[in-house]
Structure 1
Amino acid sequence: MFRQWIGPRELTTRMDEFDCRPGGSYRFVQEGNDGRQHAWRPARGTSLTAWKPA
């Protein structure tokens, strides 16, 4: 679902890691038609926070 949601649409997205538990982390790579890749991960020292919907 995340790969379909994240944009821009002209980039393909590869999920290398996605741990949505509290304290987990993520890493995904987006690639354009020109072959250029852009990797994303949380900043050092940060982590994901989970909360229960109301």
Structure 2
Amino acid sequence: MTVNDYFEYCKIAYLAGKRKGDHIDKTMTGREMYQRYADGHDEDLLEINPDSKSDFAD
């Protein structure tokens, strides 16, 4: 799994967890959604190579 994979799973979760009245832009990438909705608790996920399985595993 890569961080890009993770962000796509996050996108699915953000869209599935949408409550009535919430506005979530479906055109945003998973990474963009994560940057907007993760409350700044990214644990440096935004800094690692997005396509590296080993970086994500570390």
TM-score scaled by structure 1?
0.31
Q: Whose helix fraction is larger, Structure 1's or Structure 2's?
A: 2
Structure with the largest fraction of strand: 1
Query: Which of 1 and 2 has higher RCO (CA within 8 Å, sep 6+)?
Result: 2
